[in-house]
Amino acid sequence: MSFAFEEMNINRVQIRCAVGNFPSKRIPQRLGFHFEGIERDGELLTGNRFTDIEVYSLLKNEFISAGH
C-alpha cells in the first residue's frame, strides 16, 4: 500500500473478489478498505458462467489519515 500511494502516487486502490469468497474478502476488510457494492456478473468463470463481484476501495487520503 505504501508503494502504491507514496512511490507510484496512485490515488485509489481497488480490490475485487467473488461474492461468497470469505477468505478473499477478509483481506480488504482487514486493511481498512471501504465496501462499495456488488458488481453484478462482474467476472466470467470457466464454463461461460458469470459471478457477482464485491468491490472494495481505499483512497490515498484515507491511507495517509490512518497514520500510514
Give domain limits for the chain.
2-65
Q: Give the mean pLDDT of 1-12.
A: 94
Residue ranges of the alpha helices (H) in 1-68?
A: 2, 22-30, 60-65
CA distance linking residue 34 with residue 6, whole number of Å: 20
Give the per-residue pLDDT at 3: 94
Give the per-residue pLDDT at 41: 96
Question: Is 3.40.50.150 the CATH classification of the domain at 2-65?
Answer: no
Phi, psi of 66 (to 5 degrees): -80, 0
Give the per-residue pLDDT at 66: 81
Query: Tens digits of per-residue pLDDT, 40-60?
Result: 999 999 899 999 999 999 999
* 67 has a pLDDT exceeding 80: no
Give the per-residue pLDDT at 15: 97
